[in-house]
Amino acid sequence: MMLKVLREDATRETEISGTRSELLALGQLLRSGHGELPAATVPNPAPYGRSLSRIGLLRADGKARVALSEDGESLEIQGDAESLALFADNLEGFALEADQDDHLHVEYFPEHDYLAEESQPLVFGMDSDAPQPS
């Protein structure tokens, strides 16, 4: 299995869903501040408009920023070590505690601990670790 990264361009909202272990791996990538994870292609991403191919991480100055890549094919997350670590703490807490079908909304609000104002909204979803019946 792989993370699924679904995007609705009209609202700029992106949903990232995966198993507990996949979301924890994304948390580790956030802590490292660099690298990328491939994402699964989802043929019918409804209610979102399309799926993205990867998540890229880059260390940069300032609070964490989530944005669509220039080529429109991936989600990019960048920020300083402190904001990425806080982001990872939040995601890992969700991954460890959430039940299947739970969601975590990560959106900017004034004086947010780790997100920059220009950061686009994210929703994290929990998928089952068990193989799906066919």
Q: Is 119 helix (H, G, I), strand (E, B) or coil?
A: coil
Mean pLDDT of 83-95: 97
| Mean pLDDT for the stretch of residues 34-63 | 95
Alpha-carbon span 90 to 96, nearest angstrom: 10
Give the pLDDT mean for 64-74. 95
- With b for 16 or more beta-carbon neighbours within 10 A and e for fewer, the 9-41 pattern comes to eeeebbbbbbbbebbbebbebbeebeeebebee
pLDDT tens figures, 5-16: 999 999 999 999
Domains of the chain, start order: 4-125 (3.30.1360)
Q: Quick check: 69 pLDDT over 90? A: yes
